[in-house]
């Protein structure tokens, strides 16, 4: 009589899992942290080309979440069909190579094949994101030795992975980006992932050879990145920054942020104003206030501090308080643009909106807004609440002058003017005639515009004469012309300010 064989026991542990609880935790923690590091740094890599806008952030976050979902799902399915021991090292190694090559791939594509940028960006996020997210189900499969402990194992590894993602986010945002170039962060992370793959798959001779190839690829990518387009003299918290000498003017310097010309400074002659919008603001200020009279001014956005320097030279005794969010730019101003030679300029590294709130009421003759770029705009500086703080800080006869950049239908510029009209009694727009409604038969081109706001009327003829004297080629529009130009543009508020949707950047990355 034969005895039927007993069915296999479902929770019988394998003879050799080969992965300790500590190793499992390190793998899940590290891979989860790496996904978030790549996501945050990718935003900084793409910002010079797509702008640091809501759409760019949404795109990167969406791709990263897609990669996490795809990796978790496919990783779980594959782990049930293939020995996870054989999967972890390749996932780490391939991810490391792609991560290390990401700066080279994105910057080269942006410069030489820009229509493919989104496709390449999606690939450099999806591939490592999915592979690294697959590590957690691989490790979970190896650690599930008993059905009685399924909840404990899955919960522990899920918690470790989430904690790793948190650490990766905080470490990148508060430490790495402020101390290292983004290319160095990604190359270093890629090297660590390849090293992790080497350690994890050391027993497999074929993987040792593959790891050597991966490390060689990382080294080659590192060297190539040094020669890739889009390099900068310094990477600040917010920008890739360069100082470019003017070949036609020995003392002229241009501050380039994320590939866009933001400020022109003559280090020996601060009254020399190269950019048209700066000359326009100077024309308005010199017309509005008595010549040579010192002013109490506040500047939202510093850049190269061109206009604060001008006020210090043209109006001795002027006190300019500058709110500049990027401490790295301020450091460049001091070290390379001779900020120390200017007197009466106090620069605070702070958000412009917070700087406005600190100002005392009726304390400023002039507020200059120059924090809006040609690719993206800090929306919280555009709203009626923010402009209410500007109005509160200005004296009764004070002036607010802001540089705007918009193209196409100029929807953002019109909305900002409509918002200003709800806060100040008088609003004027200065720009090319075709852009400000003085040539209604022509299609607007866009570019820089200067919007003016005050509770006292503008002397339009005097301002126009000053604009002509400074050879701006611009005109001033006031009254009904501005009202008609603004049309039914929406008023921007803290509750609803779709600036990213209204703004139309120039396709060829216009300069300021």
Domain ranges (residues) in the chain: 19-228, 238-500
Sorting pLDDT into bands at 50, 70 and 90, what band is 2? Answer: very low
Question: Residue 14's pLDDT is what?
Answer: 42
Tokens 């620069």 found at: 347
Q: Residue with structure tokens 């709800």?
A: 422
Summarize the confidence of residues 291-318 as an average pLDDT: 96
pLDDT of residue 342: 67
Q: Indicate if the pLDDT at residue 333 is higher than 50.
A: yes
Which long-range contacts link 142-145 to residues 24+ away (Cβ below 8 Å)?
142/17, 142/18, 142/19, 142/24, 142/84, 142/85, 143/17, 143/19, 143/21, 143/24, 145/11, 145/13, 145/14, 145/17
CATH superfamily of 19-228: MFS general substrate transporter like domains (1.20.1250.20)
Residue 78 is predicted with a pLDDT of 94
Cβ neighbours, 10 Å, residue 21: 11
Task: Return the minimum-mean-pLDDT range out of 162-166, 381-385, 469-473, 507-511.
Answer: 507-511
Work out the percent of the chain whose per-residue pLDDT is above 90. 61
CA quadruple 477, 480, 486, 491: dihedral, nearest 10: 110
> Which candidate, 88, 123, 91, places its Cα nearest to that of 105?
123
Asked whether the beta carbons of 103 and 186 are under 8 A apart, the reply is yes
208 Cβ contact partners less than 8 Å away, ≥ 6 residues apart: 198, 201, 202
The yes-or-no verdict on residue 270 having pLDDT over 50 is yes
Share of the chain above pLDDT 70, in %: 88
**Average pLDDT for residues 69-98, to the nearest whole number?**
92
Would you state the pLDDT for residue 510?
37
Residue that the structure tokens 């006190």 belong to:
319
pLDDT in tens, 405-433: 999 899 999 999 999 999 999 999 999 99
What pTM did the predictor assign?
A: 0.81
Q: Quickly state the pLDDT bin for 104 (edges 50, 70, 90).
A: confident
Q: 95 vs 91, 124, 132, 138, 191, CA distance in Å?
A: 6, 9, 7, 15, 10
Of 83-92, 208-217, 382-391, give the range with the top mean pLDDT.
Answer: 382-391
Q: Does residue 9 surpass a pLDDT of 70?
A: no
| Residue with token string 């009904």 | 480
Residue 126 near residue 38 (C-beta atoms within 8 A): no
Highest mean pLDDT among 102-111, 179-188, 211-220, 298-307: 298-307
Predicted pLDDT of residue 203 = 57
Confidence of residue 508 (pLDDT cuts 50, 70, 90): very low
pLDDT at 16 over 80: no
Q: What is the pLDDT of residue 7?
A: 44
Looking at CATH, the fold of the domain delimited by 238-500 is given as Rossmann fold (3.40.50)
Is the model's pLDDT at 204 over the cut of 60? no
pLDDT average, residue stretch 60-86: 93
**Looking at residue 47, what is its pLDDT?**
78
H-only helix segments in 376-496: 384-393, 411-421, 460-469, 479-486
Model pLDDT, residue 264: 95
On average, the pLDDT of the chain sits at 87
Which one is predicted more confidently, 68 or 7?
68
Structure tokens at 363: 């304390």
């Amino acid at each position: 009589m034969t005895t039927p064989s007993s069915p296999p026991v479902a929770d019988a542990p394998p003879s050799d899992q080969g992965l300790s609880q500590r190793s499992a935790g390190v793998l899940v923690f590290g891979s989860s942290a790496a996904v978030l590091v790549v996501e945050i740094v990718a935003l900084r890599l793409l910002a010079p080309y797509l702008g640091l806008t809501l759409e760019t952030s949404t795109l990167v976050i969406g791709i990263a979440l897609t990669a996490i979902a795809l990796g978790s799902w496919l990783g779980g399915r594959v782990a049930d069909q293939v020995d996870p021991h054989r999967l972890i090292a390749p996932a780490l190694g391939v991810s490391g190579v792609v991560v290390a090559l990401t700066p080279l791939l994105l910057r080269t594509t942006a410069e030489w094949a820009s229509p493919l940028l989104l496709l390449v960006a999606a690939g450099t996020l999806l591939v490592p994101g999915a592979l690294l997210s697959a590590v957690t189900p691989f490790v979970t499969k190896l650690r599930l030795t008993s059905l009685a402990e399924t909840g404990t194992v899955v919960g522990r590894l899920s918690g470790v992975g989430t904690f790793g993602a948190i650490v990766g986010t905080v470490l990148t945002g508060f430490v790495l980006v402020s101390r290292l170039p983004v290319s160095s962060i990604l190359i270093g992370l890629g090297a660590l992932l390849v090293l992790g793959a080497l350690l994890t798959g050391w027993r497999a001779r074929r993987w040792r050879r593959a790891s050597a190839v991966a490390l060689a690829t990382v080294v080659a990518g590192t060297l190539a990145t040094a020669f890739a387009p889009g390099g900068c003299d310094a990477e600040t918290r917010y920008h890739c920054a360069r100082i470019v000498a003017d070949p036609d003017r020995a003392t002229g310097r241009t501050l380039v942020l994320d590939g866009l010309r933001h400020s022109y400074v003559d280090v020996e002659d601060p009254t020399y104003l190269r950019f048209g919008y700066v000359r326009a603001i100077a024309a308005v200020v010199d017309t509005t206030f008595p010549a040579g009279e010192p002013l109490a001014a506040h500047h939202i956005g510093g850049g190269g501090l061109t206009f604060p320097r001008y006020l210090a030279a043209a109006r001795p005794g002027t006190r300019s308080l500058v709110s500049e969010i990027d401490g790295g730019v301020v450091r460049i101003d001091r070290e390379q643009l001779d900020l120390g030679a200017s007197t009466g300029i106090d620069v605070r590294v702070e958000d412009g909106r917070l700087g406005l709130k600190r100002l005392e009421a009726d304390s400023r003759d002039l507020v200059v807004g120059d924090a809006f770029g040609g690719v993206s705009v800090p929306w919280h500086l555009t709203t009626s609440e923010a402009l209410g703080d500007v109005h509160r800080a200005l004296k009764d006869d004070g002036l607010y002058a802001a540089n705007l950049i918009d193209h196409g239908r100029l929807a953002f510029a019109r909305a900002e003017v409509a918002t200003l009209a709800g806060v100040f009694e008088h609003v004027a727009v200065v720009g090319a005639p075709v852009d400000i409604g003085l040539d209604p038969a022509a299609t607007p081109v866009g570019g820089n515009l200067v919007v003016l706001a005050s509770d006292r009327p503008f002397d339009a003829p005097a301002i126009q004469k000053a604009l002509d004297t400074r050879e701006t080629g611009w005109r001033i529009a006031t009254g009904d012309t501005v009202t008609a130009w603004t049309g039914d543009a929406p008023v921007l508020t803290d509750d609803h300010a779709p600036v990213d949707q209204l703004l139309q950047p120039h396709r060829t990355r216009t300069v300021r």
